[in-house]
Structure 1
Amino acid sequence: MSDYLDNPAGRLLALFEAARTVDQGKVASAEWAGIFRVEHLSPQFFRAIANMASMASETRARIAEVEPEDHVLHLEHFGQVDNVIANFARSLNVNMGGFLEPLDNRSGEYALKLCSAILHRKRSEGQLQRDERASLLDQVMALTDEVEKVSDLDRELRGWLLLRLHDIRRALQYPDQFGLVDISNAHDLIIGGLQTKRSRIAQLAKSKIAKNFVGVMVALDLAVNLGANSLQIAQSDGHDSPKSSTVVIEIQNQIEQHVVQLGESESVRQLPAGQVGDPDGAGAGSK
């Protein structure tokens, strides 16, 4: 596998290396579905293709930024990568060998290796440790299972949560396709969706999943911040430890406040009638 998965060039290289290992005589689209770990011709399949095109575009842009004088030289054979990705338009009608034909391992593939090494040194996105990814993935899958099973979420919120959690799960599960920035983006979508539709926060607070949801979102936020700033943290001897983002803290506080308010309301409802607003415990008919 590619040495560096902390940049788009390294992840593209990992995908092309995987493509070299499958049956070169079989239909390319079906083989790519297996590499992407998605259903053939599903919406996720086409999203994965778009993700590859985005990685190629990002690689070009970042190399131009970090190597302003030599980027043309580094990208001399990168057109081969673009040509292979363009082959997805005919992937139903060509075998994998034909699909990969434009990518020469001594030029186009070498350009990917070179770009990956340059970006690793000069523009690394940061990475999560394997055990940390696995731990976060377990937490997300457990939360997903809870969302599917609880009866206190309406259909819209349940469907939205499952969609967003699915994206986070895939970003954590497949480091050859998704980097730290993709995990961060998937996390931002769920946090942003709560900000723009505050009624979701109130409903989450009433649900049995509230505590676990907050815990998972905070854990993801801290992990992303740690991964993205690992070099600075190491240079500071651990003094600049990662902190939750302001927006995540805000969402956490709002959910917790709703939970407290709901708890207080429930306590009032459970008190005997005479105790409401009556510190002496006298009933409404007391003299």
Structure 2
Amino acid sequence: MELKPAFLAIAVLCLGLPPAALSQRAPPPVAETPEPAPAPRHVNLTDLLSLAGPYGTFLDYLVRTDVIRTLQSQADAPGGQGVTVFAPEDSAFAAVGGAALPGLAADQLRALMLCHAAPRYHPLSSFAALAAAPGPVLPTLAGGEQCTVNITYTAGRIRVASGWTRAARLVSSVYSTPPVAVYALDRVLLPRELFPNEPAVAPVPAPAPPARGGDAADGAPAGTGHGFSRSPSCRVGAGRVLVGHLTLLASVFLMM
């Protein structure tokens, strides 16, 4: 019976201690879990090219050669580097000879379409560095060197060149969000390996300046002093002189 006060005293002391003093092991710290990185945005290239503008011809060739599936797989590859597509406008395909593209074999046409895509996402800000690098700097999905292209960057204008064809101008950025970039071109990229017999596109000659000092439309050289002017005013003046002479002769005849 004498032990009860001792037990009561110990119980009172335990109640007065903080909870941390009663526990033998401190609770483990709570580790903060980092937020997962956002997944790459899925872009349907078929819908994009269908709705973005005048790229129906390009999309038709991509679907016909099944290159659209290759581009979509490159864009959707987990952990991949993305894809950059150079999309010629419909007017660019219209400028190519009517039988040039339909005359290609199936594997050649597929290679040509693959020449219009790079296996990496390239934002607009990267083209200045690409232009400064020596030699062909941009490999394409066609593989090898047959469709490797050059980039030029002058006064804010970006051009893409390949093979014999004149450099295509990058008209606008259709879409540029990782992992997909699509840029509009005003020309079709035609590598020399696929078009060995095609001549280079000649520049359009400037219009001749208008002739001065004469009526060039009538065939008389201006300023040479040869030939008669055939302007309406001269013809009218000559007619008036002839009428005056006839009137004078008629008056003299009547007076006789």
**Same-fold call, TM cutoff 0.5:** no
**TM-score scaled by structure 1?**
0.21
Based on CA coordinates, which of the two structures has the bigger radius of gyration?
A: 2
Structure ranking higher in helix proportion:
1
Between the two structures, name the one with larger relative contact order (CA 8 Å, sep ≥ 6).
Answer: 1
Structure richer in strand, relative to its length:
2
